[in-house]
Amino acid sequence: MNLNDLSFTKEWTLFLDRDGVISLKLPDDYVMRWEDFRFLEGVLEAMAVFSKIFGRIILVSNQQGVGKGLMSEESLEMIDFRMRQDIAGAGGRIDASYYSTHLASQNHPDRKPGTGMGLKAKATFPEIDFSKSVMVGDSASDMEFGKKLGMLTVLITDEDIKDELVAFCFDSLRNFANQCGQPMTT
């Protein structure tokens, strides 16, 4: 399958992971304060492009730092609010954010690769068709989440991965946006 063969329209939904896709992932740590949050290069421009293409843009992110007691739900909500504010200020949008604050050891259905966050998004937005949805993430659990729901999967990585869970690989959200629509200027 070639990405150029696909025609993304407003009938499509874009699901995005946060850390490692939208923002810098802190190795062996959590983004616990807005001051620690850093947009990856080109993300704000990419989000503006996606907002013109996709009917819905949904954020789905595991955030077990809350479950571990390292940060509060209020801190997570404040980071989400500020992130969405900056994205909107740059001409983009996120229609809804879903977070799983459960520990990995709990195997909670909301925690990716479980499908709970996707099912909650569909309950809120019944027009979502998973066969016309794209999951963009940087981990195997993101790809598994997308595949379980029947989505097209896009892995953000510097490596060229050949895996049945991964439909496409891009080294950044910016480069994926360039392939989806009108090229972005530098």
Residue 77 DSSP symbol: H
Residue 65 DSSP symbol: H
5, 17, 29, 158: which is the annotated catalytic residue?
17
Whole-number Å distance between alpha carbons of 25 and 129: 29
Smallest CA-to-CA distance from 31 within 18, 40, 42 is with: 18
19, 80, 110, 142: which is the annotated catalytic residue?
19
Please indicate whether residue 19 is annotated as part of the active site. yes
Whole-number Å distance between alpha carbons of 104 and 157: 22
Please indicate whether residue 110 is annotated as part of the active site. no
Decide if 22 contacts 39 (C-beta within 8 A): yes
Q: Residues with catalytic annotation?
A: 17, 19
